[in-house]
């Protein structure tokens, strides 16, 4: 079996906040009639530059046509040489590698008539506990809006939330107080997430202020790649510390400095399912736990994470992939399913990722390119319209 064609389709899908995220659907065709699908998720990140999708499609064809899709190691090495990791969280080369790698996994599993989880070694679990995000407060008036979000999502079965903090600490504290007052033990705050916006000393001051409230862990409390600062922060707090993995060198430095307790691993940021499995294995060898992170994918990207997570033995903390719940639409006929705060791994009877493209939806959401228009940095950071 040989790869015969590659097709990229750009869609713009609104969030419930009004912000429109742009994603690229990947289709990889073969000479035996099997097609794999993947997702280059959420290109709407800083730095504010756009990939030329027509050029990207032609370049990927030059790399992939004629290759055996089962040669995953070979193809991923070629992709890494051309879209290398650069120690940056939102490096768009990683987004590209992730979409191609997911499509290859989908294709190979379909050819074998198994699910991707079976291709990865089998299922350790059939569902993954996830949390719903509460985005960063800018103004105190947003507290009640976010309490309403908790109220609504709790009714849908989501009882664990993560809170982005650090922009308006008065509002962050007011929100945590309101959660404790209204919901008590029925709601759990998984993490307070600083998103690398502050240095570790400022994050530490905020943690001390918020420590009277109940939350499980602290995420990304230093500027990117400050491994010693991350270690100093970890030594001075009582909560476990989590950080994303976006580069194997970065993960090595975090292990060497003993900077974290939990590795936040997401295929989108490390460059695909293949690389995410390596990162999870490195964490296991180092005696560290994992959780699945997210950029808020659509259902294809979320299904890929569900299959990955189902195969990991050290996925011991609540994970983050709730993207399909944040958007007003999707690109597949049957989106991934959630039940009582768990992401369900697609049924093992469904080959590949278990997703089928819905071209009626896609045509409605299709956009010509990944250009930014008049979107501001403020809108990018807070995902607002």
What are the CA-CA distances from residue 85 to residues 65, 216, 277 (Å)? 23, 31, 16
Count the neighbouring beta carbons within 10 Å of the beta carbon of residue 349.
9
Which residue matches tokens 């990889």?
Answer: 28
- CA–CA gap between residue 175 and residue 312 (Å, rounded): 34
- CA–CA gap between residue 7 and residue 163 (Å, rounded): 37
- CA–CA gap between residue 173 and residue 143 (Å, rounded): 9
Catalytic (active site) residue 327: no
Bridge partners of 319?
130
- CA–CA gap between residue 96 and residue 91 (Å, rounded): 9
What are the CA-CA distances from residue 190 to residues 105, 317, 320 (Å)? 31, 9, 10
Angle, alpha carbons 310-316-321 (nearest 5°): 60
Q: Which residues 6+ apart lie within 8 Å of 122 measured at CB? A: 311
- CA–CA gap between residue 22 and residue 42 (Å, rounded): 5
Catalytic (active site) residue 164: yes
Q: Which of 90, 111, 132, 338 is catalytic?
A: 90
**Complete edge-to-edge strand list for the sheet that includes strand 342-344:** 127-129, 342-344, 338-339
Q: Which of 83, 89, 111, 164 is catalytic?
A: 164
Q: What is the largest CA-CA distance in the chain?
A: 61
Count the neighbouring beta carbons within 10 Å of the beta carbon of residue 67.
16
Question: What is the DSSP annotation of 114-159?
Answer: SBHHHHTT--S-SEEEB-EEEPPPSSTTHHHHHHHHHHHHHHTT--
DSSP 215: E
C-alpha 202 chain-centroid distance: 26
| Contact criterion met (CB below 8 Å) for 163 and 175 | yes
User: Annotated catalytic sites, by residue?
Assistant: 90, 164
């Amino acid at each position: 079996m040989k790869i015969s064609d590659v097709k990229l389709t750009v869609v713009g899908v609104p969030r419930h906040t009004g912000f429109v995220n742009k994603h690229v659907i990947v289709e990889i065709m073969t000479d035996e009639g099997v097609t794999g699908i993947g997702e280059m998720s959420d290109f709407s990140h800083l730095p504010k530059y756009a990939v030329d999708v027509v050029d990207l499609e032609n370049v990927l064809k030059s790399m992939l046509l004629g290759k055996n899709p089962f040669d995953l190691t070979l193809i991923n090495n070629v992709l890494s040489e051309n879209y290398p990791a650069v120690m940056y969280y939102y490096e768009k080369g990683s987004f590209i590698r992730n979409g191609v790698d997911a499509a290859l996994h989908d294709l190979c599993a379909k050819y074998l008539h198994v699910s991707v989880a079976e291709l990865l070694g089998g299922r350790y679990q059939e569902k993954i506990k996830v949390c719903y995000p509460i985005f960063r407060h800018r103004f105190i008036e947003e507290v009640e809006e976010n309490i309403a979000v908790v109220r609504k999502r709790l009714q849908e079965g989501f009882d664990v939330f993560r809170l982005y903090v650090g922009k308006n600490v008065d509002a962050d504290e007011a929100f945590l107080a309101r959660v404790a007052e209204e919901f008590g033990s029925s709601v759990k705050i998984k993490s307070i997430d600083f998103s690398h916006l502050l240095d570790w000393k400022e994050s530490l001051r905020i943690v001390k202020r918020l420590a009277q409230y109940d939350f499980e862990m602290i995420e990304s409390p230093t500027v990117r790649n400050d491994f010693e600062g991350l270690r100093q922060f970890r030594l001075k707090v009582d909560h476990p510390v989590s950080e994303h993995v976006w580069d194997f060198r970065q993960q090595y430095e975090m292990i060497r400095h003993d900077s974290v307790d939990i590795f936040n691993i997401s295929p989108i940021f490390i460059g695909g399912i293949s690389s995410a499995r390596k990162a999870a294995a490195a964490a296991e060898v180092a005696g560290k736990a994992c959780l699945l992170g997210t950029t808020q994918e659509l259902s294809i990207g979320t299904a890929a994470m569900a299959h990955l997570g189902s195969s990991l033995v050290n996925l011991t903390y609540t994970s983050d992939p709730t993207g399909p719940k944040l958007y007003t639409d999707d690109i597949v006929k049957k989106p991934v399913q959630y039940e009582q705060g768990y992401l369900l791994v697609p049924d093992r009877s469904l080959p590949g990722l278990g997703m089928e493209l819905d071209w009626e939806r896609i045509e409605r959401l299709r956009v010509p390119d990944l250009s930014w228009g008049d979107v501001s940095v403020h809108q990018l950071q807070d995902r607002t319209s």
